[in-house]
Chain A
Amino acid sequence: MRPYILVRLLQTIPVLIGISFIVFALLYFSPGDPAVINLRAIMNTEQPPPEAVDAMRLEMNLDKPWYIQYGSWLTRVASGDLGYSYQSRRSTYEEICRSFPVTFLLSTITMIISCIIAIPLGILSGVHQNSLIDHLSRTLSIIGLSIPDFFIGILGIMLFSIHLNWFPVAGYNGVKYLILPAMALAVGMCAISMRLMRTSIAEVLEEDYIKTAVAKGLSKTLVIKRHAIKNAIIPVITYMGTQYGWLFGGAVIIESLFALPGLGRLFVESASTRDIMVLQGCVLVFALVFLFINLGIDILHYILDPRVGQGNE
């Protein structure tokens, strides 16, 4: 297992360089002068004065050809310096360290809520197909899938914060501020995971080894617990893993709605202000998050199905 992990880690270096180059190229070809766009946000005016624009262009290296712009960033990163934000003048490292924990907690709570709801419901409706619980959970999942998360968020605030006063409306000051946004995010996610779990377990139940286990006299509950779930959960874990990774950058609408200082907002704001070094830093973090989640999924697969790792030992 260990050399396998090492190889996977080394493989990411070219991937990271490739991604950062694509981001650089996208920004390079997107319309508008990055210096002007940055200054619009800094100076709070649509039309920054030309003197300020000239100074900003110099600072951003925009007077140099593209390969020098990209190359100087790359050498900087290679020496362990992610640069700084043109907007706040803080280092990229500091910006990311500040937003990462919020997003990490938010995504993790979302995944926990989603696991707690989706997996047992999926198993129940897969095992008892066309029963009342199956119909109920499938209806709920369609409703959950059809309502956009920000709308669920607003309804949640109205019900739980304004009427019931259980949670604060928005902002961030500890984990209780994350429960509502996590619930809003979990609804849509639950819906898909639940259906996947249902289909997966229904398929596994048709397998020969399950029939064998039942035929040799094991009780149905035991068969499901010991054999069916273990095999059926693998595609669900893979799916939820990617969802988990997606949440790090993709929860921006919910982060804005609930005014959470997360990574998604940092990413979108730095993209819209052309704060390129912070943007690149965020992209690297997303890539690393996906890498570790994929690694985690692989390890989970190995635990659930020891055949997976054998080829590499």
Chain B
Amino acid sequence: MKWSTTFLFSKFVLIIICCSCLVSVVAGVQTLDIAAPWDPKTTDPHVNGAIAQRMGITETLVDINDEALISPGLATSWEVSGDQKTWTFHLRDGVKFHDGTPFTAKAMKKSLEDSLKKSKTFSSVPIKDIKASDVLTLEIVLDKPLPSLPAWMAKGESAALSESSIDEGDISTPISTGPFKFSSLSPNEKFVAIKNTDYWGKIPSVEEVVYHVVPEAVTRSLMLKGGDVQIAQILSPNIVEEYRNDNTYTVNTKPISRVRLLSYNCESGPFADTAVRQAMNYAINRQDLVDYVLEGVGEPATSLFPPTFYWGNKDIQPYSYNPEKAKSILLSSGWTDSDNDGVLDKNGEKLSLTLVTYPERAELPPMAEIIQDQLKKIGVEVEVKSVDTDTSENLRFSGDFDMYLGGRSLMNAPDPDWIMMADYHSSGTFNRGYGPYKWKNEKMDSLLEEARTLADNDARKKLYDQAQQIINDEAPVSVLSYYVNEDVTSNKIKGYRMHPTEFAFHLEDVSLS
């Protein structure tokens, strides 16, 4: 082959490629574009339903409102039987699936059964039987009482899908009831939904929504600047900074249901003594952690649940930063610097501690170093061990640590029961919980057990408020700060708001100008 023919050939290939790109045609519909980091992964909401739910394609029996509290969704009301084992959901009348078939208890039963078969989300929910007792009444029978059942029925994996979708097996076109209809999904690329003009609630103003999967925050920001998208989700603080003084964009900030916790080994070592743990709460300057590591985004934590949540205890007084007080508490429990080496000691033993954390969440190791520095000021020596998540968990579950710094999702089920039982009840703290290690508080145990017998949320909240007060007073963990999401939107759109548990984008409320 002659050299020149190789060149000609490559030009020929180039021409073919250029022609193929002319095929893409721009349609004249009102499209809302979003750039977000998460890949929907699958078209089957019963395998992984998060993104379809956020987009407003699928709906669930129960909704989660802006205070992260359960509210009516496809079920208008629900109640539990006297033995707490049978939940009856009264379904909304007049709801239609995207294919026009009516939404009934029979269809919902089929959906839930399909979901239980495919998803691992409900593996800890003891569902025994699901019954469609009439057209709009659904009964869920449990093996044992579970007051958080309605909250589980808000998870994206419990989405209501039409019977025809489920008959498909691996669902490629989810037909649900939401304000948007499924249009197409290209994994790792984009997810397209179109307006549902027959929606039972508020009909969306935008015709089409395109969710772009963009793993890099820099690219999401550049797409926003280039006008390719109107919403860029989850940007890092340094990127958001560029938009703060630009009035053509709006910065939206929302604390989400995840906290950074310093949990203590309450079994052995200095932290078996409550006073020492309380001293830590005075010695750690939470505001500094937010200012220097998180670039000032977010607020120091007070209660376990953020105060913007229904479940947050708004009355808890935050610990003030008071190293002198910390020192005096330590002194009164016997820790003094008897050999004048700058490190406190008691009975010949130095107050020298290990702090375990992991770098998969990038902010944790620098936070650990600041805590190390802050504790040094009151005469506590800290060794920071930053190891990968799995090693850190091994250290944690073998009790080979004094302090463990990590992030913890609070609302895996959007209800406090799950996290409180897993992390703060003695059955959890002595097992594989992520709260305090081997900590037992009789009052806490009885409060959490009592909360399980109640169905009324206001009554439950009173108990959980007390439980959060105990966490604050007894300091089995130090709640440091809440995770905060920051989304930037172009001023071409109106009505965007973020959801506390990231369950919805509320796109039906968004309009384009």
Contact = CB atoms under 8 A, between A and B. Distances in A.
A162 B222 contact: yes
Given A52-B121, A54-B123, 10 more contacts: A42-B41, A51-B120, A51-B124, A161-B222, A162-B226, A169-B226, A170-B214, A170-B228, A256-B219, A259-B216
A176 B21 contact: yes
Interface in A44-95: 44-52, 54-56, 87-90, 95
A157 interface: yes
A66 B23 CA distance: 49
Contacts of A31: 388, 390-391
Contacts of B225: 162
15 contacts: A43-B412, A44-B50, A52-B121, A54-B123, A56-B120, A98-B186, A98-B187, A161-B226, A162-B225, A170-B228, A172-B189, A174-B21, A174-B24, A261-B187, A266-B188
Given A32-B390, A169-B223, A169-B228, A99 B432 contact: no
Contacts of B239: none
A88 B42 contact: yes
Contacts of A168: 226, 228
A121 interface: no
Given A171-B212, A261-B187, A89 B170 contact: yes
Chain B: number of interface residues, binned into ranges: 35 or more
- Majority secondary structure, A binding face: helix
A132 interface: no
Interface string B141-160: 00000000000000000000
Interface residues of A, number: 60
Given A55-B120, A161-B222, A257-B218, A87 B41 contact: yes
Contacts of A5: none
A290 B299 CA distance: 52
A265 interface: yes
A115 B8 CA distance: 12
B47 interface: yes
Q: Which of A48, A99, A233, A261 counts the most chain B CB atoms within 10 A?
A: A261
Given A112-B10, A157-B222, A259-B215, A171 B123 contact: no
Contacts of A56: 120
Contacts of A256: 215-216, 219
Interface string B13-41: 11001101101100000000001001101
B459 interface: no
B389 interface: yes
Contacts of B189: 171-172, 259, 261
B407 A46 contact: yes
Given A154-B218, A176-B21, A171 B187 contact: no
B101 interface: no
Contacts of B20: 174-175
